[in-house]
Structure 1
Amino acid sequence: MKTLTILSLSALLALPASAATVVTLDFDADSAFSTWVDGTGPLTSGTLTGTADGVNFSYQVRISGTTDGTNSNLDFNDQRPLFNFDNNNVTLNATLSVINLTATSPGTIAFDGFTALSQFDNKLATGGGPDAVRVTGTTGGTETFTGTMNPESFTFATIKGGDLFVEAVDDGDNSNWRLEDLNLQFTGVAVPEPSSAVLVGLAGLGLLVRRRR
């Protein structure tokens, strides 16, 4: 009975565990974003790939934005999303989404949400950029970043699940503001190896025998 108990514990230890994996996307360096060249969207990236907890997966990122009704709009420069402030005192926004997420190896994959983004130039801290940036997820609430916080990048206090809504408020100097990187979090659960499956079976047998005794 002790042997069967040990086998049961071994089987439980062999079961797959999941942990979050953060992926950083570099808009200008990744060829998947070569389609992001003009317009307010929605624009969809090429296929991106990653690995989370032993599970390989593929996905795409979609972006859409709005104009202020005149010349200010969401545009793109070197594949970077660009908030083009051609008029004073306007607010521009962009919505980022992960779509077509698929596991390409045995297991399951889930998109947990967005964890951070970084700015390229005309930063909030150095002037020339917007007064403030607000980020909101479908889940995870809203956070506001301002120049007085001297942010090089915006690391979210809570993960932003679902879609990410980025809103930039113009400071009146008709400048531009570009995004550089975006961090996304995924969780994968791999299918157990055959040896693990055998141990799971032995665990069940051990528990069954123990109950009968």
Structure 2
Amino acid sequence: MKTQTMTLVVAAALLAVPAAHAAQIALYIDGANYADSNTPAAASAAGVTASGMAFVGLSGGSGGPVRDQFGDINLGGNVPSDDYWYVVNANLDLAADPGVSSAVADDYFGFTLTADAGSQLDLNTLTFDWGFGSNDDALTGTTIGYRVFASVDGGSFVSLGVESFNGDVAIDTWVDGTAGNYDLSGLGLTTDGGSVEFRVQTFSTSSGGGVMQAFQNISVDGALVAVPEPSSTALIGLAGLGFILRRRR
């Protein structure tokens, strides 16, 4: 009977902690036109501050990174295009995969999501569309790719994964790359009012000014979790203490 009472008290305390429900936390580059490299989020959940897009040490080519065309290439393969993507011009790409130990200090684009005070971020997935092409010359045996990193609460960046294409690319042709889909559950919860920063480093064995890769529909899903009230935590602790004392009698 005592054990049942203890179980019920603890269960009641746990139920007092708000449950998390997965939903879209933020969306970037939704196909609409934006004026400059500091692109704002297209959408963000209530209780979350989504930074503008950082664009560090890179080039989007003539006209900036938010484009619907790159030379004669209609981004996304749409004609007419009017479908805007986030472009990284290969003339400032890294020459090779930066690897999992990259400091990600330069040559990246990315953004930061911050929870309001009293809440924590519990993220599930990062997804986006990816494509590439060459406006100047056909490419033979070329590697084009990117690596994604994340940092929780200002900590060290960890690699979430890498994607690359190796092969031939016809001139003035849009190529659909493999869509990005990354599991974020291993990042764990942020602190109260904490943040998660994402950075993407692009690389290509061709540094030609006509080579580019582009990203769109960058979406982060997860939950905003309310920090448990001290009373709930105290209730669990008191229930456990009471149970221990009763066991000693």
Common fold, TM-score beyond 0.5?
Answer: yes
Structure 2 CA distance for partners of 1:145 and 1:2, relative to 1, 3 Å = same
CA RMSD of aligned residues (A): 4.5
Alignment of 1:8-27 (within 5 A): 8-14=9-15, 15-16=17-18, 23=25, 25-27=27-29
Select which of 180, 199, 206 maps to 1:164: 199
1:211: which partner in 2? 244
TM-score, normalised to structure 1, is 0.59
Select which of 83, 86, 89 maps to 1:81: 86
Q: Distance in 1 between matches of 2:236 and 2:163?
A: 51
Q: Distance in 2 between matches of 1:92 and 1:74?
A: 15
Select which of 39, 45, 50 maps to 1:50: 45
Q: Number of residue pairs matched?
A: 187
Q: Report the alpha carbon displacement of residue 27 of structure 1 after superposing the two structures with TM.
A: 0.8
3-state DSSP of counterpart to 1:4: helix
Q: Report the alpha carbon displacement of residue 23 of structure 1 after superposing the two structures with TM.
A: 4.6
Aligned partners of 1:145 and 1:154 also within 8 Å: no
Identify, as 1 or 2, the structure richer in strand.
1
Select which of 79, 82, 99 maps to 2:112: 99
The residue type equivalent to 2:87 in the other structure is L
TM-score, normalised to structure 2, is 0.52
Alignment of 1:1-213 (within 5 A): 1-2=2-3, 4-14=5-15, 15-16=17-18, 23=25, 25-29=27-31, 34-36=34-36, 41=37, 43-45=38-40, 48-50=43-45, 56-66=47-57, 75-78=65-68, 79-84=84-89, 90-92=91-93, 95-99=108-112, 101-103=114-116, 106-109=118-121, 115-119=126-130, 122=133, 131-137=143-149, 138-140=157-159, 143-147=162-166, 151-156=177-182, 162-169=197-204, 170=206, 174-192=210-228, 197=231, 203-213=236-246
Q: Report the alpha carbon displacement of residue 77 of structure 1 after superposing the two structures with TM.
A: 1.0
Q: Distance in 2 between matches of 1:168 and 1:202?
A: 53
Structure 2 CA distance for partners of 1:172 and 1:95, relative to 1, 3 Å = closer
Give me the identity figure in percent: 12
Select between 2-11 and 132-141 the one with higher mean Cα deviation.
2-11
Structure 2 CA distance for partners of 1:172 and 1:21, relative to 1, 3 Å = same
Q: Report the alpha carbon displacement of residue 153 of structure 1 after superposing the two structures with TM.
A: 1.2
Q: Distance in 2 between matches of 1:163 and 1:151?
A: 20
3-state DSSP of counterpart to 1:61: coil
Q: Distance in 2 between matches of 1:184 and 1:12?
A: 31
Residue by residue over 1:88-115, the C-alpha shift from the partner in whole angstroms, topping out at 9 and shown as x without a partner, is xx443652333362327x52236x5973
Q: Report the alpha carbon displacement of residue 179 of structure 1 after superposing the two structures with TM.
A: 1.6
Stretches of structure 1 lacking an aligned partner (at least 5 in a row): none
3-state DSSP of counterpart to 2:128: strand
Aligned partners of 1:61 and 1:98 also within 8 Å: yes
Residue by residue over 1:138-171, the C-alpha shift from the partner in whole angstroms, topping out at 9 and shown as x without a partner, is 21266241156x7331334788974413314238
3-state DSSP of counterpart to 2:10: helix
Aligned partners of 2:144 and 2:164 also within 8 Å: yes
